[in-house]
Chain A
Amino acid sequence: MKQEIVPIHSLEFLSKEILELTFISEYLASTAKPGQFINIRVGDNFPLLRRPFSIFNVDENRVSIVFNVIGTGTKVLARKQKGETIDVLGPCGNDFLSFVDDSFDTAVFVAGGIGVAPFRFLTKKLYNNKQIVTFLGGRHKEQIIASGLQNIKIATDDGSQGFKGTVLDLIKDDFSKNMYKRPRFFLCGPTRMMKAVSEFATGIGADCCASMECDMACGIGLCQGCNIEMNGGDKKYRLVCKEGTIFETKNLKF
């Protein structure tokens, strides 16, 4: 893990709502794994705390993140220009690859909205070894980012793209029609969605891991602010930033 000041390579809209920010970092490009995050100081004095972003893509010496412009941090980030620098700390947290083994054949990716972030990078690492099916959910089509994914199935609340309804409804519908050989679920998105999909996965006897979201101050385990409650085990809480962000959902008390 390192703290670096890195130059911005580009800032582009992927849809009307979602931006991709690419910066140059040899170190992160060579060390980061899918599902890990970087903690970015978006401004010099405002906002005070860093903001965590999942790694979206790694290409040669370039690393990118994606975000919706909704909060104070992302508003500052959206005004950055090519050539400016940002202060990044990472890679932080565990990664999805540590949840990949021989116990499954089909990787089922389920993303809600901006939760799509880690799956492009994960697809790159997995498509040679596993069958992949990707379910994307969003309120409407501007929240759907499908580039670099495989075997994509889309659900939007308003029906503006793909299936009209929730991503869980789409998964249920799809699983009633298709047989996936030994599936394992990989989730990233709103907690409520992940809880519902996790229950479905458990119901069909599939393992399920999820990248959890939580407000963080430090992102490296110093502040103990991002605790998540566990379902039994030796510790009542674990830290999302350091012991996650990815957990087996059966170990979580949602």
Chain B
Amino acid sequence: MIESFKIGDVEFKNRILVASGTFGYGDEVPDLVDISKLGGVVTKSLSMKPRDGNPNPRITETASGMLNSIGLANIGVQKYISDKLPVLKKYDTKIVANIAASSVDEYCKVLELLDAQQRVHGFEINVSCPNVKEGGLSFGTDVKLVSLITKELRQRTRKPLIIKLTPNVTHISEFARACEAEGADAVSLINTVIGMAVNIHKRTPKIATTTGGLSGPAIKPIALAKVYETVNAVKIPVIGIGGIVSWEDAVEFFIVGASMVQIGTANFINPATGITVAEGVKKYCENNGFDDVGRLVRTLQTNKTISIVDSWL
């Protein structure tokens, strides 16, 4: 059974990654998870300087999901390189550094610092950050800025470059095409969906920033539809993210066309979810006569005459 998958020159031992912001820096859970069984670990978003993050409350549970507004709290790229990367040496898995920044220049500088580190195998770019120069609007909702970031970063690294896309746009495939055109190796989607919850006793928002990012099983159908839209628009691999808690969920993403998947919120409930998903996917492929998990990818049977995105409108 072939489980591995290559992005650029980097071979991941399986197609299961843990998502940024749901697994710390990779060194937090050695008692609970054998990290070496994961295809890779995507780090918490790293910025140039350490960030305190947002005030409390930062999270609240919602129906089949949770809202968060952590505010990209992180130790900063330099401390990550000096304190965290050396610890990760002993794990036989791939490290994908997730980068968040408030300017194009900052994205470039953080990437350059990490690109020099042998232990960093690739990059995932979080474009769902406020753009300080443009009054705090997210980079990720402006296709020109996503193009520019991809282009600038592509010139600075030969390691796998993955752009993580936000679903909070009209057509996510337009953004995926822009990334592909500027040389991205893959796109990952979806980041969290903007959401809100209200405390009716206090008549206040349930999280400090009023709105936040919705994740968990609640967003899986949205994620599947966005992955479906995107795989029909680009040739580069699409990494599916959104509400995966079981191997069956992951299989859905592969059938729809995701080449890899990431486990996010489920890590908060079972930090070893990635491993059980990898085992379950392997078994499913064995039972269904696939000798390579890749053969499962994009095997969705549809009635092509009505499978156009937005056809229901």
Contacts and interface: CB of A to CB of B under 8 A. Distances in A.
Bind each other? yes
Interface of A: 1-3, 41, 46-50, 89, 214-218, 220-229, 235-237
**6 closest A-B pairs (Cβ-Cβ)?**
A225-B59, A218-B268, A236-B52, A217-B268, A225-B58, A224-B70
B205 to A, nearest CB: 14
Query: Considering residues B29, B56, B270, which has the most beta carbons from chain A within 10 angstroms of its beta carbon?
Result: B56
A224 B53 contact: yes
Nearest to A50: B269
Nearest to B72: A224
Query: Considering residues B61, B70, B216, B269, which has the most beta carbons from chain A within 10 angstroms of its beta carbon?
Result: B269
A221 B24 contact: yes
Interface string B245-279: 00000000000000000000101111110000000
Given A47-B61, A48-B61, A217-B66, A3 B56 contact: no
A227 B53 contact: yes
B23 A227 contact: no
Interface of B: 21-24, 28-29, 31-32, 44, 52-53, 55-61, 64-66, 68, 70, 73, 216-217, 265, 267-272
Contacts of A226: 56, 58-59
Query: Considering residues A49, A50, A89, A228, which has the most beta carbons from chain B within 10 angstroms of its beta carbon?
Result: A49
14 contacts: A2-B31, A3-B272, A48-B65, A48-B217, A49-B66, A49-B269, A50-B269, A217-B59, A221-B24, A222-B267, A223-B59, A224-B70, A226-B58, A228-B56
Interface of chain A: mostly helix, strand, loop or mixed: loop
Contacts of B55: 227, 229
A227 B73 contact: yes
Contact of B32 (A3, A235, A237): A3
Contacts of A228: 56
A237 B31 CA distance: 25
A222 B61 contact: no
Query: Considering residues A216, A222, A237, which has the most beta carbons from chain B within 10 angstroms of its beta carbon?
Result: A222
B52 A237 contact: yes
Contact of B29 (A215, A220, A237): A220
B212 to A, nearest CB: 10
A99 B77 CA distance: 34
Contact of A220 (B28, B44, B60, B70): B28
A220 B270 CA distance: 11
Contacts of A217: 59, 61, 66, 68, 265, 268
Given A48-B61, A214-B56, A237-B52, A223 B268 contact: yes
Contacts of A220: 28-29, 32, 271
B66 A222 contact: no
Contacts of B32: 1-3, 89, 220
A214 B208 CA distance: 13
Given A48-B64, A222-B271, A237-B53, 11 more contacts: A48-B61, A48-B265, A50-B269, A214-B56, A217-B66, A217-B268, A218-B268, A222-B268, A223-B68, A223-B70, A226-B59
A89 B53 CA distance: 26
A228 B58 CA distance: 10
A222 B29 contact: yes
Given A1-B32, A3-B270, A224-B70, A215 B22 contact: no
Query: Considering residues A1, A46, A48, A221, which has the most beta carbons from chain B within 10 angstroms of its beta carbon?
Result: A48
Contacts of B44: 224
Contacts of B73: 224, 227, 237
B269 A215 contact: no
Query: Considering residues A1, A216, A228, which has the most beta carbons from chain B within 10 angstroms of its beta carbon?
Result: A1
Contact of B57 (A2, A215, A218): A215
A227 B56 contact: yes
Contacts of A236: 52
Contacts of B28: 220-222
A223 B56 CA distance: 13
Given A2-B32, A222-B268, A215 B60 contact: yes
Nearest to A49: B61
Nearest to B217: A48
Contacts of A224: 21, 44, 53, 58, 70, 73
B200 to A, nearest CB: 15
Nearest to A47: B61
A164 B32 CA distance: 48
Contacts of A214: 56-57
Contacts of B57: 214-215
B230 to A, nearest CB: 26
Nearest to A222: B24
Query: Considering residues A214, A224, A236, which has the most beta carbons from chain B within 10 angstroms of its beta carbon?
Result: A224
A220 B31 CA distance: 11
Nearest to A72: B61
Contacts of A216: 59
A195 to B, nearest CB: 15
A47 B265 CA distance: 13
A41 B270 CA distance: 9
